[in-house]
Structure 1
Amino acid sequence: MKRVVVTGIGMINALGLDKESSFKAICDGVSGVGKITLFDTSDFSVQIAAEVKNFDPLSVLSVKEVKKTDRFIQLGLAAAKEAINDAKFNELTEEEKENFGIVSAAGIGGLPNIEKNSNVCLQKGASKISPFFIPSALVNMLGGFTSIEYGLKGPNLSCVTACAAGTHALGEAYKTIVCEQANRMLVIGAESAICPVGIGGFAAMKALSTKNDNPELASSPFDASRDGFVMGEGAAALVLEDYESAKQRNATIYAELIGFGESADAHHITSPSLDGPLRAMKKALDMAKKTNPDIKIDYINAHGTSTPANDKNETAAVKELFKDNIPLMSSTKGQIGHCLGAAGAIEAVISIMAMRDGIIPPTINLRNQDADCDLDYVANSARKQEINTVMSNSFGFGGTNGSVIFKRI
């Protein structure tokens, strides 16, 4: 079976416009959460989020194209540009383009444009809807714009599986390469849903933290005082490639993707079960063991949303799977918020960089650990440690779960 490796990465989030600056801030325990500036929150119960700051869409698109794209596409293109450059794929032959595909991922897609054009339709009539509305809002248009930008003519796929979308996209890319439908795949997860209907909708579910007076402390995974997640926005991209192809061109190989698992809770539309996440992690681990029988997971980047239900449930699932050999685990959502469908891709990049640098990012704001969350979550300060294998978890509404495992080469 073909081996699949990562040869390029890119990332943009509330703490930086590139992978290196944002990863450093994450490891330094900096919080990117603050008061929402993208719209007026005066009448909202939730007024905080982890916004991407100082982003200029003209860095990736022309003025004309900016008008045709939602913010999630713009952020995704920025991450894709960094990953493509990192993998040194700036110039491709026609044959290479035909064997280079894309899997894009988002949980919601162009929600701000859906909201905007819905209001236009109701207030001014259907004739005033923008002709660019539909193309700007579709999740797969992230892959569409990116494929046009780089001339990538391989499979153009999308995952829209709530907060597990980015992780599922990695699995889809792996399968595409192993099934020889392409020898290179670009995975892009992007999300930007910080708009009135996005914040209002999640607030109506009581899913978001209401700690408006202390934004930087609001996202507190595994802490007894956690009261909901903080919405983030951002994007990440990873170039996946057949190992032999990567070796042949002397590419920098960050990691090998050796396992992934997917499952459904079949339990509840928003409340998690222990069984679903457990089976996803077990499937990923069982797959990894087929080629690495003595594998030992050194670090888990947890889904760790800072919601009462998820953190307790994920902890119990990890304990059930690993028994007496539980890896160190942390959640980076305290720093960058929960980026919904982009979270899996962003956290995969964070996990790979943690392995590269031998440092485990901290779980910040963990001051009073919940009695039901009784593991070592690398509280508040990063920890230097050699990391040879990492697991990254993502669980989404609808009871959809994903887990991936990377190893150092």
Structure 2
Amino acid sequence: MPTDIAVTGLGLVTPAGLTPGDNWAALCAGRSTAAADPVLEGMPVDFSCRVTGFDAEAELGRLTPRLDDFIRFALAAARRAVVDAALDPPAWRAERVGVVLGVGGTSLAAYEKALQHLATGHPGRVSPLTVPRSNPNMAAGEVAIDLGACGPNFTVSTACASGATAIGVARDLLRSGTCDIVLAGGAESARSRMTAACFARMRALSRRRDQPRLASRPFDSARDGFVLGEGAAVLVLEPLAAARSRGAPVQALLRGFASSADAHHPIAPHPEGRGVIQAVTAALEDAGCGPRDIGHINAHGTSTPTNDALEAAALARVFGDRSPPVTAPKGVIGHSLGAAGAIEAAYTVLALRHAGIPPVANFESQDGDHKLDVVAAGPRPLTTGTGISCSFGFGGQNAVLLFEAA
């Protein structure tokens, strides 16, 4: 069975841009995309990181009315990834092409409208499209319909680790010989009033309404919560030998993957970071690497006081006092929940391609006893061609991916 898995295509739709180049430039600039959000007007937290410049009607045409935003983003990202990988869907063996996407909680927009009709006593006004446009599995389903991918097709949900988990599952489909190609990633739009209300009540969101661009600040001592985001990323994965045989543009190698459960609490991470340490250590072992082999860490880094502190402590346990340079893209694009792990996996690939590490937006100083080598102020050269991308979620679910430069 194939063991070397290549990333041959990237598709991105994020607040940082609609192409890998635009995303990379925005990350390196280190400037947050957070701004007042009309969808959240009147809410206790009324700002977010939004996808801008995306014309769903122009890109998707007749499909647009039946889709929620998270599916629109997934479709656009998948199309971009396929083009980037130099694939021709009409010519591929459709039954050997899989789609695995991670979705945490969809966009909830259609459900909000339906619930309003029910609450006002008008069930007849509920759209018959509410379920098919909002079910998490429809992101993968619509991508398969659009591109004619007839292989294994499903959505995984591990909260904010969903996108990373999907990529790991896709890797295993290729290694088992079940698929020749898998489109893997994640999609979500967290900019719903319901989502904003829930996280605000949990005190998980930053309250910097007067300075939204300064709100998301992973690992910074002044952090006070995360910023809602949205977007999608899709990676084309295929065995390295097959990719080289067809002359595909190999962008990076997916060398390691591991997942774990804290088995501790529905929301709070384990206070000793056991699940994080287990997942990072297992991903290193899966790739045959040691801590000193890693060139940089793409941290989960949500900008919440507790989670960042526990993640820093866990990474310090694995990597010691000389941790690899750490970046955390949520400072720029906010937290896209189920899509975050896929977007940040794509960013890890871009870092390897560009041999650079983007800075953490708004980072000024660290607190606590566990000091990470946080990249700040500007990009830093990458001297070792490996990187890990960490994603953690509610339920104590952890996923870590390890990539190597091609």
Measured after TM superposition, the shift of residue 78 of structure 1 is 1.2
Distance 1:93 1:265, change over 3 A: same
The reply to whether residue 41 of structure 1 matches residue 41 of structure 2 is yes
Alpha-carbon distance between aligned partners in 2 of 1:252 and 1:93, rounded to the nearest angstrom: 18
Distance 1:222 1:260, change over 3 A: same
Measured after TM superposition, the shift of residue 330 of structure 1 is 1.1
Corresponding residue for 2:383? 386
The reply to whether residue 283 of structure 1 matches residue 311 of structure 2 is no
Corresponding residue for 2:72? 74
Alpha-carbon distance between aligned partners in 2 of 1:387 and 1:24, rounded to the nearest angstrom: 21
Measured after TM superposition, the shift of residue 87 of structure 1 is 0.4
Measured after TM superposition, the shift of residue 61 of structure 1 is 1.7
Distance 1:154 1:386, change over 3 A: same
Alpha-carbon distance between aligned partners in 2 of 1:20 and 1:124, rounded to the nearest angstrom: 49
Distance 1:176 1:160, change over 3 A: same
Corresponding residue for 1:167? 164
Consecutive unaligned residues of structure 2, counting only runs of 5 or more, are none
Q: SS of the counterpart of 1:85? A: helix
Alpha-carbon distance between aligned partners in 2 of 1:209 and 1:406, rounded to the nearest angstrom: 31
Q: TM-score, normalised by structure 1?
A: 0.96
Distance 1:382 1:294, change over 3 A: closer
Corresponding residue for 2:104? 107
Distance 1:253 1:203, change over 3 A: same
Consecutive unaligned residues of structure 1, counting only runs of 5 or more, are none
Letter in structure 2 aligned against 1:278: I
CA contact (8 A) 2:292 2:319 kept: no
Q: SS of the counterpart of 1:386? A: coil
Correspondence list, 1:251-262, <5 A: 251-262=248-259
Alpha-carbon distance between aligned partners in 1 of 2:238 and 2:325, rounded to the nearest angstrom: 29
Higher mean C-alpha displacement, 109-118 vs 248-257: 109-118
Letter in structure 2 aligned against 1:59: A
Corresponding residue for 2:351? 354
Measured after TM superposition, the shift of residue 275 of structure 1 is 0.4
The reply to whether residue 318 of structure 1 matches residue 315 of structure 2 is yes
Measured after TM superposition, the shift of residue 89 of structure 1 is 1.2
Q: In the alignment, which of 292, 296, 299 is matched to residue 299 of structure 1?
A: 296
Alpha-carbon distance between aligned partners in 1 of 2:291 and 2:229, rounded to the nearest angstrom: 37
1:178-208 deviations in Å (ceiling 9; x for gaps)? 1111111001311112011111111011010
Correspondence list, 1:5-404, <5 A: 5-37=6-38, 39-42=39-42, 44-63=43-62, 65-93=63-91, 96-273=93-270, 274-289=273-288, 296-404=293-401
Letter in structure 2 aligned against 1:129: V
Task: Report the count of equivalent residues.
Answer: 403
Runs of 4+ in 1 over 6 A off after TM superposition: none
Measured after TM superposition, the shift of residue 12 of structure 1 is 1.4
1:79-114 deviations in Å (ceiling 9; x for gaps)? 1111010001134336x2111110011110141111
Q: SS of the counterpart of 1:115? A: helix
Alpha-carbon distance between aligned partners in 2 of 1:372 and 1:286, rounded to the nearest angstrom: 27
CA contact (8 A) 2:302 2:330 kept: yes
Measured after TM superposition, the shift of residue 60 of structure 1 is 3.0
Aligned-residue identity in percent: 40
RMSD in angstroms over aligned alpha carbons?
A: 1.5
1:312-367 deviations in Å (ceiling 9; x for gaps)? 11111111111244211111111000110000000001110011001101011112
Higher mean C-alpha displacement, 120-129 vs 198-207: 120-129
Alpha-carbon distance between aligned partners in 2 of 1:281 and 1:116, rounded to the nearest angstrom: 41
Alpha-carbon distance between aligned partners in 2 of 1:247 and 1:293, rounded to the nearest angstrom: 28
Measured after TM superposition, the shift of residue 386 of structure 1 is 3.0
1:124-182 deviations in Å (ceiling 9; x for gaps)? 42222111100011111111111111101110021111100000001110111111111
Measured after TM superposition, the shift of residue 59 of structure 1 is 3.2
Alpha-carbon distance between aligned partners in 1 of 2:37 and 2:52, rounded to the nearest angstrom: 11
Letter in structure 2 aligned against 1:166: G
CA contact (8 A) 1:355 1:386 kept: no
Q: TM-score, normalised by structure 2?
A: 0.96
Distance 1:293 1:36, change over 3 A: closer
Alpha-carbon distance between aligned partners in 2 of 1:4 and 1:47, rounded to the nearest angstrom: 42
